[in-house]
Amino acid sequence: MVRDIGIDLGTANILVFLKDRGIILNEPSLVALDERNGDVIAVGERAYQMVGRTPKEINVHHPLKGGVIADIAVTEQLLELFMQKLNLNSWFSKPDILICTPTNITTVEQKAIIQAAIKCGGRNIYLEEEPKVAAVGVGLDIFSPIGNMVIDIGGGTSDIAVLSMGSTVTSRSIKLAGDNMDFAISEYIKDKYQLIIGDRTAEAIKMNLGSAIEVENESDMIVKGRDMTTGLPKTVTIYTNEIYHCLKEMLDTIGEEARLVLEATPPELAGDIIERGVMVTGGGALIQGIDRMLSEKLQVPVMIAENPLQSVAIGTGILLNRIKADRGIFSGLRRLFSSKKVVMNPTANMIDDERTEEA
């Protein structure tokens, strides 16, 4: 039995959604390479465990950075190795694969992803942009003539979009997201405490103490690193409001970008958003008080997705079902792209007929 596959090709993590089984793979987008011969030492979680702990001849690569593919060859290797775990070639029939890609992906990067997916046993390959998939994954009805707004704060980019009738009405994407926050925390700790910490420690501080609002009852965290002066191990205690001030400027920028998107939204759709609110997803949605901060800036209700880290992967599965179910559009796309086996933005202008008639 063939099962279609959805892939969230994220800067921080790659998630794979398998029809009828849900999310079957969720691992960091990392590859450990032996620089002497180019051999792959580890991928995913195993590579993540090596961050900051490898000898000089082994480097852990982040092939996706800032919402774009920084290293096409390594990304292709990463995707192939993850897909091999699914053993697609042993299935009775080849599956269709929908891959969610960064917003700013180039044609060259698209071709690399497509070739990797086909090489691993995919039949028809669909590429779709992340904000739309995230919106579907959190349960927004983007196919009706109703305005929906989503803010997806990922690892490499923050994507903000207003969607209606299956298409993006207005959007903005900025390279300011989780990775930038980790770096800002590292620099803050270095400047204030003369302590050098690793990427994993900075991420842990963000996850435990990250806040978009100043709090009265602070949490604290013991942080270990290397003293810049002596070179010896050192321990300090960090508090919530320190990290709030560290992240404030970046979070304010994301809020300002969201305000610009809302300002550019047609009045009728803006009215829908005032009534329905804004949905926040991605890893940044887990930052304490981000819904309150954004609501104050946008003057509309703001909600946090139920599963913000898995919204995109879940959305790929829903969209695959939608593509298959909508026979008219699907047949037309198959005829148009039958020689290439590839469909870009397959759900554009896909309309919910029943809702349209009611409207």
3-state helix/strand/coil string of 137-195: HCCCCCCCCCCEEEEEECCCCEEEEEEECCEEEEEEEECCCHHHHHHHHHHHHHHHHCE
- Output the pTM of the full model: 0.86
Asked: is 140-176+258-304 a CATH 3.30.70.20 domain? The reply is no
Is 349 a residue whose pLDDT tops 90?
no
Burial (CB count <10 Å: 0-12, 13-18, 19+), residue 358: exposed
Out of 9-23, 97-111, 205-219, 270-284, which region has the weakest mean confidence (pLDDT)?
Answer: 97-111
Structure tokens at 15: 């998630």
Task: Give buried/exposed letters for 126-156 (b at 16+ CB in 10 A, else e).
Answer: bbbbbbbbbbbbbebebbbbbbbbbbbbbbb
Is 338 a residue whose pLDDT tops 50?
no
Give the other-Cβ count within 10 Å of 193's Cβ: 18
Q: Matching CATH topology for 5-132+311-358 and 140-176+258-304?
A: yes
Query: What's the rounded Cα separation, in Å, for the pair 296 and 228?
Result: 40
Mean pLDDT for 284-301 is 97
Please give the single-letter amino acid code of residue 345: N
Mean pLDDT for 204-209 is 96
Out of 21-35, 57-71, 269-283, which region has the weakest mean confidence (pLDDT)?
Answer: 57-71
Sign of the Cα pseudo-torsion (169, 173, 179, 184, in order): negative
Residue 341 binned pLDDT confidence (cut-offs 50, 70, 90): low
pLDDT of 92 reads 58
Residue 75 binned pLDDT confidence (cut-offs 50, 70, 90): confident
pLDDT of 95 reads 81
Could you list the beta-strand ranges (E) of 228-275: 233-239
Sign of the Cα pseudo-torsion (29, 111, 96, 163, in order): positive
Please give the single-letter amino acid code of residue 228: M
pLDDT of 269 reads 96
Is 313 a residue whose pLDDT tops 60?
yes
Mean pLDDT for 213-227 is 96
Task: Give buried/exposed letters for 321-346 (b at 16+ CB in 10 A, else e).
Answer: ebbeebeebbeebeeebeeebbbbeb
Is 294 a residue whose pLDDT tops 90?
yes
List Cβ neighbours of 230 (8 Å cut-off, separation of 6 or more): none
pLDDT of 106 reads 78
Sign of the Cα pseudo-torsion (168, 69, 47, 25, in order): positive
Please give the single-letter amino acid code of residue 324: K
Domain ranges of the chain: 5-132+311-358, 140-176+258-304, 178-246
Cβ atoms of 120 and 143 within 8 Å: the answer is: no
Mean pLDDT for 286-305 is 97
Matching CATH number, 178-246, of 1.10.1040.10, 2.120.10.30, 3.40.50.10320, 3.90.640.10: 3.90.640.10
pLDDT of 340 reads 42
Query: What's the rounded Cα separation, in Å, for the pair 265 and 276?
Result: 14
pLDDT of 84 reads 78
Q: Which of 61-65, 132-136, 236-240, 322-326 has the highest mean pLDDT?
A: 236-240
Please give the single-letter amino acid code of residue 72: I
pLDDT of 28 reads 93
Is 331 a residue whose pLDDT tops 50?
no
The mean pLDDT of the chain is: 86
pLDDT of 48 reads 93
Out of 158-172, 178-192, 224-238, which region has the weakest mean confidence (pLDDT)?
Answer: 158-172
Is 359 a residue whose pLDDT tops 80?
no
pLDDT of 354 reads 47
pLDDT digits over 243-285, tens only?
999 999 999 999 999 999 999 999 999 999 999 999 999 999 9
Q: Which residues pair with 275 in a beta bridge?
A: none
Can you say how many angstroms the Cα of residue 255 is from the centroid of all Cα atoms in its chain? 18
Class of domain 5-132+311-358: alpha beta
Residue 108 binned pLDDT confidence (cut-offs 50, 70, 90): confident
Residue 90 binned pLDDT confidence (cut-offs 50, 70, 90): low
99 compared with 224, residue with greater pLDDT:
224
Could you list the beta-strand ranges (E) of the chain: 5-9, 13-18, 22-28, 31-34, 39-43, 58-61, 64-65, 68-69, 97-101, 125-129, 148-153, 158-164, 167-174, 195-196, 220-227, 233-239, 278-281, 302-304, 342-344
DSSP state of 96: P
pLDDT of 250 reads 97
